Amino acid sequence: MIAVKLNGEKFHCPSSWQEITVKQYIRVVKEWDRDKDIADRDYFKLFNILTDGAYTKYENTAENDVTIINCVGWVITQEFEFDKTLPKVLDIAGKIVDIPQNPAELSIGQNIHLRRDYIDKSEILEENIAIATAIYLQPIIDGKKFNVTRAVEIAKDIEKMPAYLIYPIGFFLLRRALNFGRPSASLWNRIRTNLSQKLKKTWPQWPNPAV
**pLDDT reported for residue 85:** 77
**pLDDT reported for residue 208:** 42
* Pairwise CA distance, residues 138 & 143, whole Å: 8
Asked if 207 contacts 140 with a C-beta cutoff of 8 angstroms, the reply is no
**pLDDT reported for residue 105:** 72
Residue 60 CB burial class (10 angstroms; 0-12, 13-18, ≥19): exposed
Rounded to two decimals, the pTM is: 0.78
Neighbours of 114 (CB within 10 A): 26
pLDDT (tens, 9 = 90+) of the chain, 211 residues, equals 888 777 777 878 899 999 999 999 999 999 999 899 998 998 888 988 998 876 666 667 777 788 888 889 999 899 888 877 788 899 999 999 988 876 667 888 898 899 999 999 998 999 999 999 999 999 999 999 999 999 999 999 999 999 999 998 898 888 888 876 554 444 445 545 555 554 544 444 444 444 3
Q: How many helices and strands (H and E) does the chain possess?
A: 9, 4
Exposure string (b/e) for 151-186, b if CB count within 10 Å is 16 or more? bbebbebbbebbbbbbbbbbbbbbebbbebeeeeee
Domain boundaries, the chain: 2-77, 89-178
Output the CA angle 62-32-160, nearest 5 degrees.
Answer: 110
Residue 128 CB burial class (10 angstroms; 0-12, 13-18, ≥19): buried
